[in-house]
């Protein structure tokens, strides 16, 4: 692995051949690569006509053909238990996502006019976690933007710019956060599958997503419910309102779908949710020790995926967690090193770039920076009551208040500034990779404070500028360069793998 960079073809960073990881690991990795293909082919075979029509109709669908390369990027350099755990996580994501794509195409009225599934679907803003829908086992919740743009942008960095251009041509400024902007682009291009009996919009996570809802509303023309989550969420004074909002959402869903909220189904799902949370917290605990077992991208990608898209409903996630937990605990007991060389225990903070989700793998492989905790993983870790209805709603409300991105960027600076220093201490980190997502107004507004306080703590504080969904503004290579400069000039270190120091991947997926 020492010279992983030499495996890359120029510009595209496509691998010339698969990585040699020793016989067992290479065989396992190859087997998992085949499993990814199997899941993708299975999806096509389940509804070949709809899938092929979808492929021709939607620009973003082509990006999913590069899913195996996405998985390869994210397991680069991994060995032993770490490799196995990461593969199990990514494979579960692929399995679930192919299911979502399949449902979307089958239910798409543009592809299958008059189909019956469409009316069973409730669209929701992608940031609304799935938990509340577990009380409606007969409806199919689909996160509107996840498949067409959010997940695609992680799989293929080239997919977002055309949508951003459409939005900007419409007149939305180029300086807004590219995530909601790209979602608007998909709406303007009419690239969302047409389905659903209603939609749940939300004020999460930020100002941009609040504002793009009027564009989506205009395109979709569906009955819409606005689900609000309090912003100053740490106070008890907002909790009554938060619970009222959930009740109001349930009432809307009951009215629109004719279904009754099923408390038994909800509690059953929350039991799974709580079990998953136990496994998650165990991962965190292990990472606090000198022998972390899961570092890098799989940690947060899997976490946000199951938190938002399963929420205890899909039991397959729980099975994966059980398996991963076994592997992890065994490796921890044996004190297995997570990577070849662990030089810096690193915390990654602020929103990661969708177009470079595997950045953490590069940090580990190139510089020995093991990401032991990150902001995205640190979403709600509160359990949900599974017996008392009122208490369950209160817990659910608090969980939603602590969902992706908004848990840190809303509710006051302490949630993101003080919280970072708490994590750094708890995980005994010596380095912080601080993403400067240049269009994130909530984070931009604290740059000086972060700098001041990092200096006071004498910590390696590395700013990495990125533009979330737009690799044209700051490329993957530019992101790497910022770390390289810090490591070489400030810390005067030599890379673990010099072949990864600089390579071109602007044309990569």
Partner 1 sequence: MRDLKHLYYLENLLQEANNELVQKAKNEGGIALGYTCYHIPEVLLNCGNCFSVRLRAPRTGSMDIATYYMSNFLCGYSKAILERAIEGGYNFLNAVLASETCSEINRTLEHFELLDLVPNEKFFLTFLDAPFKIEPHTIKHYVKQTRLKILDMLTSVYGVDTSDEALKKAVEEHNEVCRLMTEIGDYRKEDNPRITGYEYHILNLATYCCPKSLILPILRETAEELKTREPDLKKKFRAKIVVVGSEMDDPEFTSLIEDSGALVVADRYCFGALPGRQEIKLVEGEDVLTQICTHYLRTSQCPRFMSHEKVQERRDYVKSLVDEYGADGVMYEQLKFCEYWGYERALASYVMNGDYGVPTAAVDRQYTASASGQLRTRVQAFVESLEIKKIAKEKEAKKNG
- Contact between 218 and partner 1 (CB under 8 A)? yes
Q: Nearest distance from residue 127's CB to partner 1, in Å?
A: 14
- Contact between 98 and partner 1 (CB under 8 A)? no
- Contact between 444 and partner 1 (CB under 8 A)? yes
Among 3, 10, 190, 240, binds partner 1 (CB under 8 A): 240
- Contact between 419 and partner 1 (CB under 8 A)? no
Query: Is 261 or 279 the residue whose CB approaches partner 1 more closely?
Result: 261
Among 12, 91, 248, 282, binds partner 1 (CB under 8 A): 248
H helices, E strands: number in the chain: 19, 8
Among 20, 31, 56, 170, binds partner 1 (CB under 8 A): 170
- Contact between 176 and partner 1 (CB under 8 A)? yes
Query: Is 168 or 506 the residue whose CB approaches partner 1 more closely?
Result: 168
Q: Nearest distance from residue 231's CB to partner 1, in Å?
A: 4
Size of the site for partner 1 (CB under 8 A): 54
Q: How many residues does the chain have?
A: 509
The residues pairing with 124 across neighbouring beta strands, listed in sequence order, are 143, 200
- Contact between 424 and partner 1 (CB under 8 A)? no
Residues near 278 by Cβ (< 8 Å), separated by ≥ 6? none
Q: Which region, judged by CB under 8 A, interacts with partner 1, from 38-46, 55-63, 177-185, 299-307?
A: 177-185
Classify burial at 63, counting beta carbons within 10 Å of its beta carbon; exposed 0-12, middle 13-18, buried 19 or more.
Answer: buried
Query: Is 127 or 309 the residue whose CB approaches partner 1 more closely?
Result: 127
Considering only residues 325-384, where is the footprint of partner 1 by CB under 8 A? none
Q: Nearest distance from residue 216's CB to partner 1, in Å?
A: 11
Query: 411: left (phi > 0), else alpha (psi -120 to 50), else beta?
Result: left
Nearest Cα neighbor of 284 from 411, 380, 413 is: 380
Q: Which two tokens mark 353?
A: 């770039």
- Contact between 446 and partner 1 (CB under 8 A)? yes
The residues pairing with 121 across neighbouring beta strands, listed in sequence order, are 140
Rounded to the nearest 10 degrees, the angle between the axes of helix 297-309 and helix 80-107 is 30
Distances (CA, A) of 105 to 88, 130, 487: 26, 20, 47
Among 113, 114, 290, 448, binds partner 1 (CB under 8 A): 448
Residue pair 155/67 in contact (Cβ under 8 Å)? The answer is yes
x-marked contacts with partner 1 along 198-217 as a string, rule CB under 8 A? ---x-x--xxx-xxxxxx-x
**Which helix (H) or strand (E) covers residue 344, if one does?**
strand 344-349
- Contact between 172 and partner 1 (CB under 8 A)? yes
Classify burial at 338, counting beta carbons within 10 Å of its beta carbon; exposed 0-12, middle 13-18, buried 19 or more.
Answer: buried
Q: Which region, judged by CB under 8 A, interacts with partner 1, from 46-54, 78-86, 448-456, 498-506?
A: 448-456
Residue pair 37/65 in contact (Cβ under 8 Å)? The answer is no
Phi, psi values for residue 431, rounded to 5°:
-135, 140
Which stretches of the chain bind partner 1, using CB under 8 A?
170-173, 175-177, 180, 184, 201, 203, 206-208, 210-215, 217-218, 224, 226, 228, 230-233, 235, 237-238, 240-241, 244-245, 248, 409-413, 436, 438-439, 441-442, 444-449, 451
């Amino acid at each position: 692995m020492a010279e992983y960079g030499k495996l890359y073809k120029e510009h595209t960073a496509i691998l010339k051949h698969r990585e040699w990881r020793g016989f067992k690991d290479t065989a396992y990795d190859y087997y998992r690569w085949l499993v990814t293909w199997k899941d993708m082919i299975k999806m096509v075979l389940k509804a070949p006509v709809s899938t092929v029509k979808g492929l021709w109709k939607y620009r973003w669908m082509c990006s999913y053909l590069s899913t195996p390369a996405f998985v390869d990027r994210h397991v680069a350099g991994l060995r032993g238990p770490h490799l196995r755990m990461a593969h199990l996580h990514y494979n579960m994501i692929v399995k679930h996502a192919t299911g979502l794509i399949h449902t979307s195409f089958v239910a798409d009225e543009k592809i299958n006019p008059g189909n019956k599934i469409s009316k069973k679907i409730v669209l929701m803003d992608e940031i609304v976690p799935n938990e509340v829908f577990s009380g409606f086992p007969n409806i199919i919740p689909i996160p509107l933007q996840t498949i067409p743009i959010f997940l695609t942008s992680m799989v293929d960095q080239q997919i977002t710019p055309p949508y951003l251009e459409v939005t900007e041509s419409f007149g939305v400024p180029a300086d807004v956060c590219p995530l909601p902007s790209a979602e608007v682009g998909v709406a303007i291009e009419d690239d969302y599958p047409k389905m659903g009996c209603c939609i749940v919009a939300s004020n999460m996570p930020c100002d941009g997503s609040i504002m793009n809802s009027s564009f989506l509303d205009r395109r979709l023309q569906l009955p819409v419910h606005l689900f609000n989550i309090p912003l100053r969420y740490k106070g008890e004074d907002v909790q009554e309102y938060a619970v009222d909002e959930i009740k109001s959402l349930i009432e809307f869903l009951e009215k629109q779908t004719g279904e009754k909220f099923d408390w038994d189904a909800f509690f059953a799902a929350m039991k799974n949710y709580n079990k998953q949370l136990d496994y998650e917290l165990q991962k965190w605990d292990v990472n606090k020790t000198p022998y972390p077992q899961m570092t890098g991208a799989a940690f947060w990608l899997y976490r946000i995926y199951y938190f938002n898209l399963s929420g205890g409903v899909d039991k397959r996630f729980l099975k994966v967690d059980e398996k991963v937990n076994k592997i992890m605990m065994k490796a921890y007991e044996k004190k297995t090193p997570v990577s070849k060389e662990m030089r810096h225990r690193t915390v990654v903070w602020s929103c990661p770039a969708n177009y470079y989700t595997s950045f953490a793998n590069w940090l580990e492989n190139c510089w020995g920076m093991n990401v032991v905790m990150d902001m995205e993983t640190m979403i709600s870790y509160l359990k949900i009551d599974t017996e008392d209805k009122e208490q369950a709603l209160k817990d659910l409300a608090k969980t939603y208040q602590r969902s992706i991105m908004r848990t840190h960027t809303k509710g006051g600076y302490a949630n993101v500034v003080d919280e970072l220093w708490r994590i750094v201490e708890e995980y005994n980190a010596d380095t912080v990779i601080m993403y400067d997502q240049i269009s994130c107004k909530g984070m931009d507004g604290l740059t000086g404070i972060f700098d001041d306080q990092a200096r006071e703590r004498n910590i390696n504080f590395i700013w990495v500028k990125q533009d979330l969904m737009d690799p044209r503004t700051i490329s993957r290579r530019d992101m790497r360069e910022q770390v390289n400069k810090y490591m070489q000039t400030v810390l005067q270190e030599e890379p673990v793998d010099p072949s990864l120091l600089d390579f071109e991947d602007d044309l990569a997926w």
